[in-house]
Amino acid sequence: MATPSLLSTLLLLLLGLAIAQLMAGRLARWAVPAIVVELAMGFLLGNTLLPFEAIRPLSGLTELGVLTLFFQVGLEVRGDLLSARRATILRLVALSFLVPLLAYWPLRQAFAMEPATALLCLACLSATGTGVTLRLLAQRQALRSPSGRLLVGVSVLDDLPAIALLSLAVAAAGGALGQGGVGGQAGLLLGLGAAAASYVGAGWWVRRPGGARQPRGPLAILMLLIGCSWLGEATGLTSLLGALWGGVLLNRITPEGRALDSEVSPVLVVLSEVFLPLYFISVGMRVPLESLLEPRAWLLGLVLLAMALLSKLACGLGVSAADRRAGIDRWVVVFGLVPRGLPGLVFATTALSAGVIDAIQFSALVMMVTATTVVGLLLLERRLAQLGRFITPLAS
């Protein structure tokens, strides 16, 4: 098949995106998230008209949406994050991270995985795609319920340990992951040193004569976002962790109590709304049809799915009797944590690009992420319907 021109590639991508959005609108009533439709559209395009190799030069642009979301997560890491139900949030985050670690040796022994590959699988199991969960809660007017408020607090912190596992998997894979950068132990130390220096520098910026001055304009925000992402990638800490740290730095130099400038927020919205759906389509394009014909992919996918469901069911132990008396529903919380959504796909794609996993393992991870996202949202939708009028929003 001849390689399509740049304009033909862009046209096919945009047509696929338009069809996916139309289908997602029709399937929303069954709680099918848009990312599942976009993955399916990407799979169809990648195995018919537009192989992934045709858009590989554009892959950096599609990742801008993902980096922007992690940048926004960094913006939410504030001192008052744990002001409400701190103990419950920390219990849930700890369970969500620690329980999947029990699968390390079983995965290594059953599938002869390298340590870096097993760590990457654990990162995907630990992740939580609460973005789609919070969107469903908002649609059902349950976002301000006690359970919804708890999930908001958990969602900001829950992926931080998973990102750390991803970075550990990157470091464990050695030189294969240091492409274009330092990599290895030296890169890890350099990245941590740069993070510490930038944090101190941001504090100096705030305390200097004249006070804090927030970066303004699209160019300044893009330079901070891409610069921190590049540094994270070059040192082996992954571009995702770098983007998240960029958000932390911007939040640190923003005057207390001040929201993002009107010039800043639109930049982040455009980057996430335009490039994120294209990213999901590109992920689907990376799943080769032949990998789905491999029994090993389905076996690994089913094992990962079982582990994913069990690990989040264990999080129900973190909801105490006092929490239930305060109006928190254990099953709303558990089902809200089941979808792996965006983080799981990002981790798997990052690992595939770095050579930590092969195409079969990548396909298994995509199947697990897709299944948990659909199953989790369907269960959450049913639970919210059962609760009905008993979900009472908190007073403003």
| Per-residue pLDDT at 389 | 45
Biggest CA-to-CA distance, the chain: 65
pLDDT at 367 over 50: yes
Handedness of CA 50, 53, 57, 60 (dihedral sign): positive
pLDDT digits (tens, 9 = 90+) for 63-95: 887 788 778 777 766 655 555 678 899 999 999
**Average pLDDT value for residue range 97-112:** 93
pLDDT digits (tens, 9 = 90+) for 282-319: 888 989 998 888 999 999 999 999 999 999 999 999 99
Q: Helix, strand, coil shares of the chain as percentages rounded to 5?
A: 75, 0, 25
Q: Is the pLDDT of residue 187 over 70?
A: no
pTM of this structure:
0.76
CATH topology of domain 60-388: Na+/H+ antiporter like fold (1.20.1530)
Instruction: Give, in degrees to the nearest 5, the angle at Cα 130 between 125 and 134.
Output: 160
Tens digit of each residue's pLDDT (9 = 90 or more) over 152-174:
778 767 877 888 888 788 777 76
The predicted structure's pLDDT at residue 84: 66
Say which range, 173-177, 356-360, 389-393, has the weakest mean pLDDT: 389-393
Phi-psi region of 214 (alpha: psi -120 to 50; beta: other; left: phi over 0): beta
Per-residue pLDDT, 300: 95
Phi-psi group of 255: left, alpha or beta (phi > 0 → left; psi -120 to 50 → alpha; rest → beta):
beta
Q: How many CB atoms lie within 10 A of CB 40?
A: 17
Domain ranges of the chain: 60-388
Q: Would you state the structure tokens that stand for residue 266, as one six-digit string? A: 């639109």
pLDDT digits (tens, 9 = 90+) for 324-354: 998 899 999 999 999 988 788 888 988 888 7
Give the integer Cα–Cα distance in Å for 285 and 42.
Answer: 5
Q: Rounded CA gap, 56 and 36, in Å?
A: 21
pLDDT of residue 215: 61
Q: Is the pLDDT of residue 255 over 50?
A: yes
| pLDDT category of residue 250 using cuts at 50, 70 and 90 | confident
